[in-house]
Every structure is written in C-alpha cells, then in structure tokens.
Structure 1
Amino acid sequence: MTKRWKWIGLLLFMCAIAIGMSLVWQHSEKELGDPVPFTNPVYQSDAPDPTVLKADDGYYYAVTTQTDRDGTFTPLPILQSKDLVNWEERGTVFTVESVPEWTTYNYFWAPHLTYHDGKYYVYYSTMLNDNIESTGMGIGVAVADHPEGPYVDKGEPVLAGISFDTIDPFVFDDEDGKRYMYWGSNGMPIYAQELASDGMSVIGKKTEAIWAGQYDVRDGYDKLVEGPWVIKRENYYYMFYSGDYCCQVSGHNAHYAVMVARSESPMGPYEIYANNPILDMNDKFLAPGHNAVIQDDAGQDWILYHAYDLIHADVPGRAMLLDRIDWENGWPVINGGKGPTSELQTDGPVVQKR
C-alpha cells in the first residue's frame, strides 16, 4: 500500500470515529426522562387563553391573556416550564409603558406564540384606538429574538375589523412552506387565509373554515366558535376550537367547551366531529377551553387550556390545565370524554434529560 493510500485510510478511520462519537453524543443528548406526574391545575394563577411552544433553548413557553397581578395590569404574561407541568412567570410581551400606541390600553388577549426564521412572533387580539380608520377589534404582532423578549411591535394591525369577529389569531406553518392565519368569533365563522412569509400581512382570499351554529353540537356549544388551534397528524389537519361564550362577562355562568374538526386541506372544508365537544365541564372544572396543543419529547400530544377551578373557588380568574390527548379512530379523545382530570396523573409529559 502506498503512503498516499495509508493517509486516506487513516483519514477515513478518523472520520468514522468522529461520526461514531457524534452519534453517541446525540443519543445521550436525546435521552428521555421519566414521565412527570401532575395534578390539575398546573398553574393556579389567572392564565386564560394559553398558547405554547418549545423554544430552541429547550424550555416550553406559554403566553396568556392579560391579567391583574396584585392589582397591577399585566399585558400578555410570559410563562416558562421545563416539562409542561411546573410553570413560572418570566415577564410580559409588553410593559405598561410599551403598550403599542395604535391599541387601546388594557385590551390584550388570546395571544399566539410562534417561531419562524429565527424569530419569535406573538400575535394578539386587541381593541383599536380612535386613530385607526377601521375602529373596532384587530390582530397585532410583536417580534423578538427570544421568547422572553424584548418584543418590538409592528406598529399597526395585521388585520382590523369592526367587532369581535377579528380576534383569536392562530398561525400554522405547513410542511410545504406555506403559512396560514386563522381567526374569528362573535357568531361569525372561523376564517382561514394565507399569511405572507414575513408574517406581517395576509395574502390571497380568506375562507370560512368553520361556521357557527350549523352543526347541532350537543348543548349548543357551537353557537359561537373561536380560539382555533390547527395541527397536522398523518393525512389530516385537525382544528381544535372553543365555544360558546366565555368568560369575562359571564364568569361562572360561562358555557364553554372544546370541539374539533378535520380536513385534508388547511383551508378546509372541515368535517365536524360527531361526538363534539371533546372537552366539557365536570364537577371540578367549569368552562374548559381556548386551548393549545403541543407534543412532548416522546411525541405524545397534550392539550393546554384554561378553566374555572371549582375545587379552589377562592382563586380568582381562570387556571391553566393540562391533559393527555389520545387518538381513537382518527379523532382526539381527552380523559375518556369525562372532562378535565383532577386526580394525580402519573403518566405525565416526558422530556429530555437536561
């Protein structure tokens, strides 16, 4: 063997060693821990309309509707968790001083946190101020390099409307690179429309994806539909959504639950699940809804949502709950249809060992 071939052989051997070490390192990095047990609620403070994602720093982040903390207005709180069970507050999308000028003070709810091209985007519902030509409700967006911020607002609405029909934004990134925004409420449809690649505007034509009051859902929960969250599993796009009224005005008279529909296209038409709602009240929790869906590191689906805690009725506002999603005959099932869990769940989320 010539000297040249000896060097080539040595180089190939060293590459093989490097690849092997890399695989061992990756395997150790992806080693999963044990299921994290939990009992609902997983966050007992007021945390309505949660949105959630896992960031590139390995933590889960949730953003929720505005609230009061010890009498102080808190716009769009940011929560952090390593396991979807143990949460702590990590700031806000806006401070009282940085509330966008085009909005009306203390109207920030139903946010959606998403990641695209190295940036974190928070879409949110708000009331437009009198300087906006189309007064009413609208959807804004703020952008940051990290889920904890600081966030810079676009400075004007992504969408503007005349009423509560232009609220509750959700953004879905499809496998083909196209992006979609969903929104709606106030007895109007849930709309779907393609989102520009920069996330700052909608393009093309909007579609009515889900209609209110047309499906004869048990107990009339679909008289108003809102809070869409879309995922893709196998060949279907599943839209989780809520109805029919909740919660600031109605309070403990709220009538709210989670429903689901599916389609072979992100724009619809959507087939409504015959056994809706999939998450309803029980004797422990009232008005469960406005959910997010996320997978843990083992690939298990979980639903994160708000509800009134009837066990701890002295705690104000809507607590944040977590439950496992099972799949039966192509449809999601939560706690066997018995509403939110209240007992200890030993088969909780599984996350990578840190």
Structure 2
Amino acid sequence: MRWRGEQALSHLIQTSYRNPIILEAWPDPAVAGPDRDGLYWCYATDDEKDPPPRRRFKVARSRDLVHWETHPEGARHGAFPRPIPNYSCHRGCWAPDVRQLQPDAWNFYGALEFDDHEDEGPNGHGIIAARSSGPIGFADPVVLRRGTGFTVIDPCFFHSTTLEQNFLYWGSGHAPIWGQELAADGLSLVPGTEPRAVLAPTPGDTEDRLWEGLFVFEHPEDRHVILLASKVDTWVGPYRTYAFRGGAHPLDRVAGSEARLLLGENAVWNRCGNVFVLPDAVGQLWLFYHAVRGDAVIPGTEGIEMMGRRGVPLRQACMDRLLFDTSGLPYVEHGVPSSDVRPGPIVWAP
C-alpha cells in the first residue's frame, strides 16, 4: 500500500492505449507527475503554426497517461498564466521540459522566440527556466542562455544520481548539442563552468546534418547514461530517433556513428521524434514522442504551402513502452510507433 497525502492507495490499474494519445497538434511532448492529486501533466510546443488562441506552452492533464484533457482549467493560457517578459511579438514557445523535483517544486524549461529576436547574432532563440509549487502557474522565468538563430532550443534537464549534479542540454539548428552543469535548484548555470559539445552533426553529410530534441536519462538498473536524439528533417522527413550509450561523465561526447535506431517510420506514422521518458507506477518506462499519421495536417492550414506540400503536418502525441536489450540500450517493439490497442501504463487507482 502507498500513501498519497492522507489517502491510502491499495490497488493498481492496468490501462490500455492506442496511438495517438492526444488528437490535436501536440509536438515535443514532455510529461511529469503524478502530482499530489494523482494527475499527470503533459506540456507541448505552441507556435505560429497552431490555430488561435496563442498559449504560453500547451498543457494537458491525465489520471492514467492515456486519456488526456487538454487546456484544463487554470491552464487555458498555458503553463504560464501571466505574460512572459520580452515575449509578446512572436508566437514561438518550443519544446518544454518539466520536472517534479520535489512534491512542491516543479521546474519548467522551454525555448522562446523573444521580442528582440534576430536570426543573425547572439540574440536568437533562448532557454528559460522557472519554478512553481505545482504543475501549472509558472512565473518569473529567468533566461539561462541565448544563441544565434535557433541553435539554443530543445532544453533537456538531467540529474545524475551518481554525481548528485544537475545538467542542462540544448541544441541545435545544425549546430552541436551542448551540455552544461546546472545549480542544485536547476534554475541557473553553475558559474565558472562552460558548455561542452555532446553531439555534433557531420558537415556535408545529408544524413547526419542535424541532431535535435536530446533526452538524457539513466538506465534503471546500472544507472549508466543513455542519450536519445532525433534527426534528420523535422518537417519533410525522414525523421527518426536514435539511442546512444553515454560516457563515464554526462557531458562526454558521443558520435553519430555510435547511434542505434530507436524509433523509425512505417506505413502509418512518420516524422517520429522529440522524445521524453517517464516511469509508470511500477517503474515501467514509457517513451512519449510526436509523430505524423500519413499526410495529416493541422486543420485550417490546408492553404499553407510548406516544404513543397500543402498544409502543416499534424504532429500528435504518442507513446510506447521502452524496453532494454542485453547490451543495456533501449528499444521499442518493432522499432516503430504502434497503431494497435496495447497494454498501457500501470497507474494507481484514484
């Protein structure tokens, strides 16, 4: 028996699911929880490709990781209920990463296209960090880093249980993916530390020209570092996710040639990537990601020409069980998104 606050939890529920788990556009999903009320929370990108109203990152909630209520009460305007400084002209809230570090300490990381954005020079996209006592209501964000164009995007928080240190990763815009140590509270970079290139594209190689959407976690048994990253073409495809075994230190460099395919495309799903990993109530790991079903586009964008096609691809939130082989690397059954009904996460009964 486990206790949530003052409520005794005496049994578990086996869910079932079928992709997608969120029907509307829900790119770059990040999942956190459960909170004190037993709710899981899923956050996503909000940008100019979405229909109105604009939101400061999308928010959904669920009791079972399968059935999601999008834009719930208290989050109609997104994860940040009030305007974010220097963010009003553009609509570009990208790739959130949210972590429940303590029951009453939730950290939010995300990339923004600021009002003073410039494509060239140091004031391109940047990464913010903020804290809240719960899964919504984030405020007073600090800017951790900015860079040229969109080279400073796709933040990923990682806590090393071996070193008892926090790290932030970001990138890329055809630049390397970088990592740097974070302070104990995760809200600032450690003074005196410098970013280190963790994964870099290969110039001139069309199959290795872009890595993005890094997610870093530890193997559940021996705690070795695992990196997941997506490439090559976000909008046109192919777009796939790969797994790497990390080095002795979380900022050790890995090579693209060491990657192993984790999640590919099939006849149903394409452009699969920007992943996030979360355990269920019994420790099974689940891979959350976005994917496009066939030629589906965001409703209302059919008149927009994009990359030689009509309409903006509809990136929906999906999930599948994350398993491990004898070498310690993760894999997904059949290496592609599932389309049938499957056993889902095991969660506590409300």
Q: Calculate the TM-score normalised by the size of structure 2.
A: 0.82
* Structure 1 stretches lacking a partner, 5+ long: 1-22, 248-252
One-letter code aligned to 2:98:
L
Q: What pairs with 1:1-354 in structure 2 (closer than 5 Å)?
A: 29=8, 31-57=10-36, 58-67=38-47, 71-89=52-70, 90=72, 91=75, 92-95=78-81, 98-101=83-86, 104-117=89-102, 118-130=104-116, 134-149=122-137, 151-154=138-141, 156-175=142-161, 176-203=163-190, 204-213=193-202, 220=207, 222-233=208-219, 234-247=222-235, 253-263=236-246, 264-270=248-254, 276-310=260-294, 317-329=314-326, 330-337=328-335, 339-345=336-342, 347-354=343-350
The answer to whether the Cα contact below 8 Å between 1:236 and 1:265 also exists between their aligned partners in 2 is: no
* Structure 2 stretches lacking a partner, 5+ long: 300-312
Q: Calculate the TM-score normalised by the size of structure 1.
A: 0.81
Alpha-carbon spacing, 1:131–1:62, altered in 2? closer, same or farther (3 Å): closer
The answer to whether the Cα contact below 8 Å between 2:86 and 2:114 also exists between their aligned partners in 1 is: no
Alpha-carbon spacing, 1:52–1:254, altered in 2? closer, same or farther (3 Å): same
- Is the deviation greater in 307-316 or in 173-182? 307-316
Alpha-carbon spacing, 1:267–1:131, altered in 2? closer, same or farther (3 Å): closer
Q: Identity, % of aligned pairs?
A: 26
One-letter code aligned to 1:192:
G
| Partner Cα distance (1:269, 1:30) in 2 | 43
- Is the deviation greater in 177-186 or in 309-318? 309-318
Structure number with bigger Rg: 1
Compute the displacement of 1:135 (Å): 1.5
Compute the displacement of 1:142 (Å): 2.5
- Is the deviation greater in 284-293 or in 171-180? 171-180
Alpha-carbon spacing, 1:275–1:108, altered in 2? closer, same or farther (3 Å): closer
Bigger helix fraction: 1
Compute the displacement of 1:109 (Å): 0.7
Alpha-carbon spacing, 1:237–1:31, altered in 2? closer, same or farther (3 Å): farther
Alpha-carbon spacing, 1:24–1:39, altered in 2? closer, same or farther (3 Å): closer
Alpha-carbon spacing, 1:98–1:297, altered in 2? closer, same or farther (3 Å): same
One-letter code aligned to 1:350:
I
RMSD across aligned positions (CA):
2.8
| Partner Cα distance (1:317, 1:303) in 2 | 19
| Partner Cα distance (1:30, 1:327) in 2 | 29
One-letter code aligned to 1:326:
L
The answer to whether the Cα contact below 8 Å between 2:298 and 2:314 also exists between their aligned partners in 1 is: no
- SS of aligned partner of 1:128: coil
Deviations 1:7-44 (A, max 9, x none): xxxxxxxxxxxxxxxx7979x94544242111100111
| Partner Cα distance (2:10, 2:209) in 1 | 46
One-letter code aligned to 1:108:
C
One-letter code aligned to 2:200:
W
| Partner Cα distance (1:294, 1:113) in 2 | 11
The answer to whether the Cα contact below 8 Å between 2:228 and 2:243 also exists between their aligned partners in 1 is: yes
Alpha-carbon spacing, 1:43–1:102, altered in 2? closer, same or farther (3 Å): closer
Alpha-carbon spacing, 1:32–1:107, altered in 2? closer, same or farther (3 Å): same
